[in-house]
């Protein structure tokens, strides 16, 4: 089943994000290689693809896991969680309808 993982950043998270970004992307790339990643990306803090020093307010990931518990465990182990980038993370089942 698909799951939505929504991480909300702490204030002024940009420096922490950049420090562990490679490790975060490596985990997402693994999901992509396994055909389990529908989409992933950050939410800019301002209305721009490149928010510069304004940074980001969070991230959205939609990926396939065998269970909610597996999705939650994967999210809990993300480098953005362990480095304190995210203030909170929610994981919810998702049913893809379109496209």
Give the mean model confidence (pLDDT) for residues 4-31: 98
- Tell me what pLDDT residue 83 has: 98
Tell me how crowded residue 3 is: count the other CB atoms within 10 A of its CB: 21
Question: What's the DSSP call for residue 42?
Answer: E
pLDDT of residue 17: 97
Mean pLDDT value of segment 25-32? 98
4-39 burial code (b ≥16 CB/10 A, e <16): bbbbebeeebbebbeebeeebeebbeebeeeeebbe
pLDDT of residue 37: 98
pTM: 0.95
């Amino acid at each position: 089943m698909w799951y939505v993982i929504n991480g909300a950043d702490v204030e002024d998270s940009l420096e922490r994000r950049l420090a562990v970004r490679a490790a975060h992307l490596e985990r997402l790339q693994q999901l992509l290689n396994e055909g389990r990643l529908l989409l992933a990306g950050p939410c800019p803090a301002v209305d721009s693809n490149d928010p510069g020093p304004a940074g980001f307010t969070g991230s959205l990931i939609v990926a396939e896991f065998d269970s909610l518990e597996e999705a939650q465990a994967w999210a809990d182990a993300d480098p953005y969680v362990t480095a304190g980038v995210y203030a909170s993370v929610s994981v919810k089942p998702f049913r893809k309808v379109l496209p």
